[in-house]
Amino acid sequence: MSVDASFAVLAEPTRRKILDRLRGSERSVGELAEELAISQPAVSKHLKVLREAGFVVSRVSAQRRIYRIQPLPLQAVDAWLAPYRRLWNDHLDALERHLDTMED
């Protein structure tokens, strides 16, 4: 999946909230619906998009589907963000150096 497609999937706030909940542990559709205070069909719709994009995987447990994060697509987004993170860190380092000279 391309980084552009990953960002399109992650642009939806509810999907990001779902990923936030799954970051801690696996969850069923019902658990996610309750935690997010949205309908089970809405959660299922978002999970389908996340699953098709590779962000989550599921397993069957009795009559429930249990979802968990699949980190590989997030690693691609992280790799795209890496140069920007370095830029941000460089600016913070420059600010720290500037503040240090002001103290002297």
Inform me whether the pLDDT recorded for 103 exceeds 80. no
Inform me whether the pLDDT recorded for 79 exceeds 70. yes
Global confidence as pTM: 0.79
List, for residues 35-66, the tens digit of each pLDDT value.
999 999 999 999 999 999 999 999 998 889 99
Instruction: Tokens 């205070």: give the residue.
Output: 37
Strand partners, 69: 56
- Helix ranges (H only) for the chain are 3-10, 13-24, 29-36, 40-52, 72-103
Residue 104 has a pLDDT of 63
What's the chain's average pLDDT?
91
Q: How far is the C-alpha of 15 from the C-alpha of 32, rounded, in Å?
A: 11
Work out the average pLDDT over 14-38: 96
Instruction: Work out the percent of the chain whose per-residue pLDDT is above 70.
Output: 99
- Residue 75 CB: number of other CB atoms within 10 A? 9
